[in-house]
């Protein structure tokens, strides 16, 4: 088999894959500063505006079950380019929406397409690179990807200061067009026809993957750990505007430290690759998350007038810990299924996204009324993730690393 035609440098590939993974977070975070203006224009209150996030995430989660297997059957490049076209069209619809129902409909369409770059991009990394090299590239992508949630609300605030809330969605249209052109020019096809899986096998593969208890534990560990951070991301409008009493252009006070922590954690993970065992890296990440959770709960209970920078430091440390854990768990899941990486990536993403949708639609509106409640709920997610990780360490002595051969593994740890 001929090697795939790759971009000239790994750096360009990392930049492209990071860009492809960024348009999902941009769709969530860029509109946060515009919530009051959007609500007034669309005739929606705060709770209704929160549904523009949860509806997007539900669609994102459901379609994540399709992106990966579709790329296993049709090829990575074709699926990514198709998703970009749909996302760009959906962003046009959001920009032109003049009532909440229309906005929600196009937000759902955005969600159906926004996950394609992140989910299929992970499979692209694992198609090309192996072992520590794969972890290093995954960490590079995570570092660049980490910029998106930091700059998206800042850009959204600037755009809102210069124009109307609709202009934020026109910015997303332009971003979609730029990504489509870049992917068309630079994205290689890394999953050749001879390795593709007939669609009739996808359901069987899903059943086998989902019934694997080791997959369940690894996916749950990553999802619960990230949920502690995502609770704050989903609650950003209440956290910044109501609890910290800052204005619409001050979202950087929250996002810059948090994403700085994520990027530093991703850089550290890349430096650890090949030097420390995967289990040690995950344990170090959980130690950071646990320290952040303890400090966050103490701050929330003891301080009656929260302020920056102290209120945003615990989420930043949580982000650092999450970034240490994420590449290791993701590659462990992909290495369990060398020929079904798209399906494995989709199911792992669905696990996290389904939990995130519940966090955004149910927990965030209930927990974002006070610093203490936010901190306690986030700490609960961190504790749950650590307990599932400890169970995985008890049941499996080492993480799977390219040890499963050409197909699905034997059902040694299935229900």
| Average confidence (pLDDT) over 190-200 | 77
Choice between 90 and 144, residue whose per-residue pLDDT is larger: 90
Q: How confident is the model at residue 7 (pLDDT cuts 50, 70, 90)?
A: very low
Region of residue 29 (phi > 0: left; psi between -120 and 50: alpha; otherwise: beta): alpha
Q: Which of 220, 229, 387 is nearest to 293 (CA)?
A: 229
Q: Which residues make Cβ contacts (< 8 Å) with residue 324, sequence separation at least 6?
A: 265, 268, 269, 272, 281, 282, 284, 285, 288
Query: d(Cα 157, Cα 34) in Å, to the nearest integer?
Result: 7
Query: d(Cα 411, Cα 415) in Å, to the nearest integer?
Result: 9
pLDDT at 10: 65
pLDDT at 386: 97
pLDDT at 389: 94
Kindly tell me if the per-residue pLDDT of 9 is higher than 60.
no
pLDDT at 149: 66
Number of domains in the chain: 1
In terms of average pLDDT, the best of 140-149, 350-359, 398-407 is 350-359
Any domain includes 407: no
Alpha-helical (H) ranges within 212-340 are 213-234, 236-237, 252-272, 278-302, 313-336
Question: Could you count the other beta carbons within 10 Å of the beta carbon of residue 154?
Answer: 18
In terms of average pLDDT, the best of 43-47, 118-122, 381-385 is 381-385
Q: How confident is the model at residue 186 (pLDDT cuts 50, 70, 90)?
A: confident
DSSP letters for 4-34: P---S-HHHHHHHHHHHHHHHHHHHHTTGGG
pLDDT at 407: 44
Rg of the chain in Å (alpha carbons): 20
Any domain includes 404: no
Choice between 89 and 209, residue whose per-residue pLDDT is larger: 89
Q: How confident is the model at residue 222 (pLDDT cuts 50, 70, 90)?
A: very high
CATH number of the domain bearing residue 24: 1.20.1250.20
Our measurement of the distance from residue 88's CA atom to the centroid of its chain's CA atoms, rounded to an integer in Å, reads 19
Q: Angle at CA 255, nearest 5°, toward 58 and 379? A: 70
Q: Yes or no: say if 84 and 96 are a contact pair by the CB < 8 Å rule.
A: no
Any domain includes 336: yes
- How much of the chain exceeds pLDDT 70, in percent? 89
**276-311, pLDDT tens digit by residue?**
788 899 999 999 999 999 999 999 999 888 888 899
Q: How confident is the model at residue 412 (pLDDT cuts 50, 70, 90)?
A: very low
Tokens 């020929």 belong to: 339
Q: Which residues make Cβ contacts (< 8 Å) with residue 173, sequence separation at least 6?
A: 88, 91, 92, 95
Provide the 3-class DSSP secondary structure of residue 248. coil
Any domain includes 4: no
Our measurement of the distance from residue 26's CA atom to the centroid of its chain's CA atoms, rounded to an integer in Å, reads 11
Query: d(Cα 58, Cα 35) in Å, to the nearest integer?
Result: 19
Any domain includes 250: yes
**249-260, pLDDT tens digit by residue?**
677 788 889 888
Kindly tell me if the per-residue pLDDT of 338 is higher than 60.
yes
Domain that holds residue 157: 10-395
Q: Yes or no: say if 212 and 409 are a contact pair by the CB < 8 Å rule.
A: yes
Kindly tell me if the per-residue pLDDT of 355 is higher than 80.
yes
Q: How confident is the model at residue 125 (pLDDT cuts 50, 70, 90)?
A: confident
**44-55, pLDDT tens digit by residue?**
877 778 788 878
State the average pLDDT for the chain: 83
* b (16+ CB within 10 A) / e for 34-57: bbebbbebbebeeeebbbbbbbbb
Any domain includes 130: yes
Any domain includes 400: no
Q: For 408, which DSSP code?
A: P
Q: Which of 262, 191, 182, 190 is nearest to 12 (CA)?
A: 182
Any domain includes 158: yes
Kindly tell me if the per-residue pLDDT of 154 is higher than 80.
no
In terms of average pLDDT, the best of 25-39, 57-71, 180-194, 370-384 is 370-384
Provide the 3-class DSSP secondary structure of residue 277. coil
pLDDT at 223: 94
Kindly tell me if the per-residue pLDDT of 138 is higher than 80.
no
């Amino acid at each position: 088999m001929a090697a795939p035609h790759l971009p000239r440098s790994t750096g360009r590939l990392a930049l492209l894959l990071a860009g492809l993974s960024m348009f999902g977070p941009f769709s969530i975070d860029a509109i946060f500063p515009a919530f009051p203006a959007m609500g007034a224009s669309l005739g929606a209150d705060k709770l209704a505006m929160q549904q523009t996030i949860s509806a997007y995430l539900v669609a994102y989660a459901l379609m994540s079950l399709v992106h990966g297997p579709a790329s296993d059957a049709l090829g990575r490049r074709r699926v990514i380019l198709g998703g970009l076209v749909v996302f760009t069209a959906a962003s046009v619809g959001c920009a032109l929406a003049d009532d909440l129902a229309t906005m929600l409909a196009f937000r759902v369409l955005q969600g159906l397409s926004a996950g394609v770059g992140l989910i299929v991009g992970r499979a692209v990394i694992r198609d090309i690179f192996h072992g520590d090299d794969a972890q290093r590239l995954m960490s590079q992508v995570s570092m660049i990807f980490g910029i998106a949630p930091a700059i998206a609300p800042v850009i959204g605030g600037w755009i809102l200061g210069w124009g109307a809330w609709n202009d934020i969605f026109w910015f997303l249209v332009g971003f979609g067009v730029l990504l489509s052109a870049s992917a068309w020019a630079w994205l290689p096809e890394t999953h050749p026809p001879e390795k593709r899986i007939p669609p009739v096998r996808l359901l069987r593969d899903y059943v086998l993957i989902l019934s694997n208890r080791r997959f369940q534990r690894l996916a749950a560990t990553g999802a619960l750990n990230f949920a502690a951070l995502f609770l704050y991301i989903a609650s950003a409008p209440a956290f910044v505007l109501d609890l910290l009493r800052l204005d619409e252009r001050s979202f950087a006070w929250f996002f810059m430290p948090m994403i700085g922590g994520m990027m530093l954690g991703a850089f550290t993970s890349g430096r650890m690759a090949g030097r420390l065992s995967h289990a040690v890296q995950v344990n170090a990440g959980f130690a950071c998350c646990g320290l952040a959770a303890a400090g966050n709960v103490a701050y929330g209970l003891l301080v009656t007038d929260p302020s920056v920078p102290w209120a945003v430091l615990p989420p930043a440390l949580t982000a650092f810990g999450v970034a240490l854990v994420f590449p290791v768990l993701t590659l462990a899941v992909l290495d369990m299924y060398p020929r079904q990486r798209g399906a494995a990536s989709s199911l792992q993403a669905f696990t996290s996204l389904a939990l995130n949708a519940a966090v955004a639609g149910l927990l965030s509106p209930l927990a974002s009324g006070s610093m203490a409640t936010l901190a306690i709920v986030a700490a609960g997610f961190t504790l749950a993730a650590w307990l599932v990780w400890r169970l995985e360490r008890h049941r499996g002595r080492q993480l799977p690393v390219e040890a499963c051969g050409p197909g699905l593994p034997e059902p040694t740890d299935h229900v």
